[in-house]
Amino acid sequence: MSMERILLTGADGQIGSELTARLRERFGTDAVLATDLREKPEHLPEGPFARLDVTDAAAMQRLFAQHRPTQVYHLASLLSATGERKPQLAWDVNVGGLLNVLECCREHSSRLFWPSSIAVFGPGTPRDHTPQQTIIDPMTVYGIGKLAGERWCAYYQTKHGLDIRGLRYPGLISYATPPGGGTTDYAVAIFFAALREGRYTCYLKPDTRMPMMYMEDAIRGTLEVMDASREALSTMEAYNFGAIDFTPAELAARIRERLPDFTIDYAPDERQAIADTWPRSIDDSAARAEWGWRPQYGLEQLVDTMLAGVKAGLAEAEA
Ligand SMILES: NC(=O)c1ccc[n+]([C@@H]2O[C@H](COP(=O)([O-])OP(=O)(O)OC[C@H]3O[C@@H](n4cnc5c(N)ncnc54)[C@H](O)[C@@H]3O)[C@@H](O)[C@H]2O)c1
């Protein structure tokens, strides 16, 4: 029997709601405490839940003392587009929240998973097959926080011997829980619009290539990097984590093959400037070599799975 006790922050979001379910299947419902800023979760499955604002260090300490987690998945965050509208709050939540988590993990010797992002990169970074180690000059508040966070995690590993693992998630695509205000959100919204309205207006230009991943791959990779033996891992900062890359025009073309009447037009907004400083594709050879990362979902399978999932969800909502 596993003695793991798990705590998640920001668990009611796009990733947390699916990761919580998966962790409960594996470790048992009662072993997994989901927390979020929200008083009542909107997307989480039934099970242990507590409200936790990650900027509240005292409240976090109390929860850690009660639950004594052996593993923590720290997902609470303001995403890239939201962060540009609320820069101070984004810094407090994204960096201040991480510092609170790091201190609690140090006190309780908890292993930590903390996601970084392709947003850590900037205009000086090579945009094609972006290497693991390269120029890292993020231009958004969100990206600056990811860079600071990666360095804080490396610091706690070397200074305090903590076991911390991180992935630089690309744009994550799923239908169960809506995305939370990132620059890659279009790649989810387009499926809902295609099935509901038959048309979509994209906030990025048609040729904006970005790295993306289906949620199932992201969850599996997250569990795999946490399962890897510590000796195998030599990358101190979060791992480049790749699957597929495509443009809005390419995604629209794949959708049109399945829904011939689907149309798309383009009205770029402020998110275009963010996307223009991010990688177009990712070199994830360190993740592949050190802990065996292999994505499973290609673009065709992703489009089929998303259309089926969104369609079933819409039918259920109507019934
Ligand atoms: N979804 C993606 O495509 C993507 C890509 C790269 C990195 N990430 C990273 O993955 C993590 C999770 O992202 P997500 O997509 O699930 O985000 P999300 O916006 O869907 O969920 C974030 C959750 O954090 C909660 N939250 C906000 N402020 C909080 C606070 N002060 N205290 C506690 N909870 C708070 C929100 O209520 C929300 O439920 C984040 O670190 C994000 O930067 C996500």
pTM of the predicted model as reported, rounded to 2 decimal places: 0.97
Residue 20 sits in the same domain as residue 63: yes
Q: Are residues 27 and 98 in the same domain?
A: yes
**Catalytic site positions:** 142
Residue 274 has pLDDT above 60, yes or no: yes
- The 10s digit of each residue's pLDDT in 127-181 is 999 999 999 999 999 999 999 999 999 999 999 999 999 999 999 999 999 898 9
Whether residue 33 is found in the same domain as residue 182: no
pLDDT in tens, 45-64: 999 999 999 999 999 999 99
Residues 15 and 147 in one domain: yes
Q: What is the pLDDT of residue 2?
A: 62
CB environment 103-137: b (16+ within 10 A), e (fewer): bbbeebebbbbbbbbbbbbbeebeeeebebeeebe
Tell me, yes or no, whether 203 and 285 share the same domain.
Answer: yes
Q: Residue 15 belongs to what domain range? A: 6-171+214-240
Kindly tell me if the per-residue pLDDT of 303 is higher than 80.
yes
| pLDDT grade for 319, boundaries at 50, 70 and 90 | confident
Q: What integer pLDDT is reported at residue 105 of this predicted model?
A: 98
Question: Are residues 76 and 127 located together in one domain of the fold?
Answer: yes
Would you mind telling me the total number of residues written for the chain in this entry?
A: 319
Q: How confident is the model at residue 204 (pLDDT cuts 50, 70, 90)?
A: very high
Q: pLDDT tens digit string along 12-53?
A: 999 999 999 999 999 999 999 999 999 999 999 999 999 999
Residue 90 lies in a domain: yes
State how far the Cα of 191 lies from the Cα of 76, in Å rounded to an integer.
26
1 pLDDT more than 70: no
pLDDT score of 86? 97
CA of 256 to the centre of ligand 1 (A): 31
Are both 103 and 223 inside the same structural domain? yes
Q: Does residue 112 sit within a domain?
A: yes
- Ligand 1 centre to CA of 286 (Å) is 25
Quick: pLDDT tens for 229-251: 999 999 999 999 999 999 999 99
Q: Find the 13 Cα to ligand 1 centroid distance in Å.
A: 6
Give percent of the chain above pLDDT 70: 99
Query: Are 123 and 258 members of one domain?
Result: no
Which residues lie closer than 8 Å to 169 by C-beta, 6 or more apart? 15, 115, 116, 117, 118, 213, 218, 241
Over the chain, what is the mean pLDDT?
Answer: 97
The pLDDT of 74-79, averaged and rounded, is: 98
Task: Assign residue 239 a region (left: φ > 0; alpha: ψ between -120 and 50; beta: otherwise).
Answer: beta
**What DSSP designation does 45 have?**
P
What CA–CA distance (Å, rounded) separates 133 from 316?
Answer: 45
- Per-residue pLDDT of 82-118, as tens digits, reads 999 999 999 999 999 999 999 999 999 999 999 999 9
The verdict on 50 and 152 lying in the same domain is: yes
Q: How confident is the model at residue 120 (pLDDT cuts 50, 70, 90)?
A: very high
Flag whether 99 is in a domain: yes
> Do residues 155 and 181 share a domain?
no
- Whether residue 32 sits in one domain with residue 148: yes
In this structure, is residue 1 part of a structural domain? no
* Same structural domain, 205 and 113: no
Mutate to test the pocket of ligand 1, among 7, 9, 12, 15 (most ligand atoms within 8 A of CB): 15
Nearest ligand 1 atom, CA 114: 41
Number of domains in the chain: 2
pLDDT value at residue 9: 98
CATH number at residue 79: 3.40.50.720
Two tokens, residue 32: 């997994």
Two structure tokens written together for 100: 């609170």
Is 90 exceeded by the pLDDT of residue 313? yes
Sign of torsion over alpha carbons 149, 155, 160, 166: positive
